[in-house]
Amino acid sequence: MAPHTLPHRSEVAENSTWDVHSIFSNDVAWEAEITRILERLPGLAHFRSHLGDGPQVLADWLQTAAEIHLSLGKIFIYSSMQRDVDTADQEATAKFNRAIGLNAQVTAAMAFDEPEILAVGADILGRWMIEEPRLAEYAHYFDRLEKRRAHVRSAEVEELLNQVSDPFRTATATHGILADADLTFRPAHTQDIPGEPMEVAQGTINSLLTDRRRQVRRAAWESYADAHLATKNTIANCLATGVKQDVFRARAHRYASSLEAALQPNYIPLQVFTNLIETFRKNLPTWHRYWRIRRQVLGYDKLYVYDIKAPLTVESPYVPLSQAVEWISEGMAPLGEEYVSTLRKGVLEQRWVDAPPNKGKRAGAYSTGLQGTHPFILMSYADDIFAMSTLAHELGHSLHSYYSRREQPFIYSRYTLFVAEVASNFNQAMVRAYLLNHNTDRDFLISVIEEAMSNFHRYFFIMPTLARFELEIHERVERGEGLTADSLIKLMADLFSEGYGDEVEVDRDRVGITWAQFPTHMYLNFYVFQYATGISGAHALAQHVLENGAAAAEDYLAFLKAGGSIYPLEALKMAGVDLATPEPVVKTFAVLAQMVDRLESLL
C-alpha cells in the first residue's frame, strides 16, 4: 500500500475493529430476528382499541412494545455498524435499508398506542399504577406523554406519520452516501509538496488540516471544499428537502415552528436556545483575539481558515491508542474505580471501538448501541492528541449509555441528545485538566491547549454558527421561501464572516459550503446547538467535580444513571448545573478566554 493512502476494509485487522457479532453471531441470526418480528406483527392488532380496557392490558402492551423496540434496535444497529465502516459495500447498504424499512413498518403498526393511552386520562392512569405494579415504573413516561397531549394526533395520523419515516430519510441518506462514498477529492499535492500525494478522504481530512506544512493544509482544505462545491446543487436539494420535512412534521404535530417542535418534545425551554445564541454573539471578541494571537505566532500576514489548526509547536505529541486509553483513564479517575475499569475493559478487551481509518468509512465519530449490547464507538483514530480527545468524547457518551442502560428499565434507558453532549464534553474537559496539571513540558502544554481550542472551535464556534444558519433556513421555508445552493452558501459565508471578524480571510464559496460537510447533523432538526450547550454544561460540571471531590462525582454519576427517567434540565441540576440560565455559557466563555491567556503566555 502506497504512503498516505487508506486500506480497504478487508485489509483492516479484525481485533482493532468493533465486535458487531456480539449483537448477532452472523447474518443468519439477524435474519431470524427479522422473521420473529414479522411473525409478531399480526398479534399487535389484538391490542388496538383495547389499551383502555384495563391496567393489565396496558401493562401487557407496554411490555410487548419494549420487547419489539429492543429487537428492532438490535436489527438496525447490526446493519448500520456494517454499513458505516464501508459505505461502498452494497450488501451492507442493502441490509441497512432493509432495517430502516422494517422499522418504519413496525412503528407504524404500533402508532396507535400513545393516542389510546392519552384517551385513558391522567386520573385513571394514576389509579391503574396503584392497581397494577408493572405500570408503576411508567409514571414519568405517562407524565411526559401528558405534556405532549396537544401534539399527539389520532392513531390514524400517527400511523401515517410513522409510515413516511422511511421515505423521509431519503434526503439525509442521499447526502450521506454522496459524502462518504461518491465524492471525489483531489490529493493534497502541489508542486511545493515533495513526495507522494496525500489522499484526502473523510478519514484523513482532520489529520491533513493539522499538518505543519501550510501547502498541505491549503491543498487539503481546498480539495475538501471543492468536492462539496462540485455537487452543491444536489446537496442543497437534499438539505432543502430535509428542512421541508422538518416543517411538515412540526405542522403535522401542531407546533408553531420547527424550533418549537425540536425543543418541546425534549422538554427544553426556548430560552435555552436564545440564551446560547445571544451569549455567543456577545463573546465573539474572544474568538477574534484568539485568531489574532494565532496569526502573530505563526508569523503570517493573513490567517486563513486552513490555518486554524496549524501546529504551534515544532513537534506534536504522538499518541497511540494505548497511550490515549491511559491518559483518559487518569483523567477520569475522580469518578471512581468502577468508571475507569469499565472504560478500560470496553476499549481493550470487549472491542467497543472501531478505530482504524479505511476507504469508505463514514465520516466523523459517534457512539451507538442499546440495552443488551455494548456501547460501540466509530471513529478514525489518527495517533494524535486530537484523536485522543475524540475518543474521550465518545467514551463519555458510551459510559453514559452503559450506566443508563444498566440502571434503568428499557423505557428510560435512552436519554435526550441535550444531556448526551454534556457527558461527552465532560470527559474531554476532565482529561484536558489532568494533562495540563500533570505536565510541565512547554510544547506538550501548547499542544493540549491547541486541541482544546480546536474542540472549542468546533463546538463553541462552528456549532452555534450552524445553529444560527439552521434557524434562518427553517424560518425561510416556514415563510414559503425557497432554498438554493447559492443562497445557502451566501448565508453561511455571512455568518462565518461575522464570527471570524477582520482576523481571518474568508474564501466565501469554500467557507460558505461548510453546511454541506455535515450530512447527519443538519438533518436532525436543531441538534447542533446542543453541542454548545453541552460543552457549557460539561465545563461547569468538570469544575464542580475537580473542586468538590467525591460528593460532586457521586452527583455526576447519579446523573449518568438517571438516563431518561427525569427531565433533562432536572437531571443536569441534580449533577450541579442549570442550563436554563445563560450562566454556564458565560462561564465556559471565561474558560475559553483563560485558555487563550495561557496559550499567549506560553508562546
Each as own residue / partner, the long-range contacts of residues 311-314 (CB below 8 Å, 24 or more positions apart, any chain) are 311/210, 311/212, 311/447, 311/450, 312/446, 312/450, 312/599, 312/603, 313/443, 313/446, 313/447, 313/450, 314/443
Q: The C-alpha cell of 370 is what?
A: 442499546
Q: The C-alpha cell of 7 is what?
A: 486500506
Which element (helix H / strand E) includes 118?
helix 113-120
Report helix, strand or coil for 397: helix
Residue 131 in contact with residue 55, Cβ under 8 Å?
yes
Residue in 394, 451, 470, 478 annotated catalytic: 394
User: How many angstroms separate the Cα of 143 from the Cα of each of 56, 121, 249, 518, 564?
Assistant: 19, 11, 23, 35, 12
The residue type found at 552 is A
The residue type found at 528 is V
**How far apart are the C-alpha atoms of 200 and 225, rounded to whole Å?**
11
Q: The C-alpha cell of 303 is what?
A: 490567517
Q: Which residue has the cell 434496535?
A: 73
Report helix, strand or coil for 577: coil
Residue 84 in contact with residue 20, Cβ under 8 Å?
no
Which element (helix H / strand E) includes 377?
strand 376-378
**How far apart are the C-alpha atoms of 208 and 188, rounded to whole Å?**
8
Q: What angle do CA 557, 558, 562 make, to 5 degrees?
A: 120
User: How many angstroms separate the Cα of 21 from the Cα of each of 24, 77, 297, 332, 424?
Assistant: 5, 11, 49, 29, 26
- Mark residue 156 as left, alpha or beta (left: phi above 0; alpha: psi -120 to 50; beta: remaining): alpha
Report the number of secondary-structure helices (H) and strands (E) in the chain.
Answer: 26, 5
CB atoms within 10 A of CB 270: 12
CB atoms within 10 A of CB 589: 22
Taken as a whole, the chain contains a residue count of 603
For residue 333, the number of C-alpha atoms closer than 13 Å in the C-beta half-sphere is: 10
Annotated catalytic residue 394: yes
CB atoms within 10 A of CB 432: 23
Q: The C-alpha cell of 173 is what?
A: 441518506
| Residue numbers annotated as active site | 394
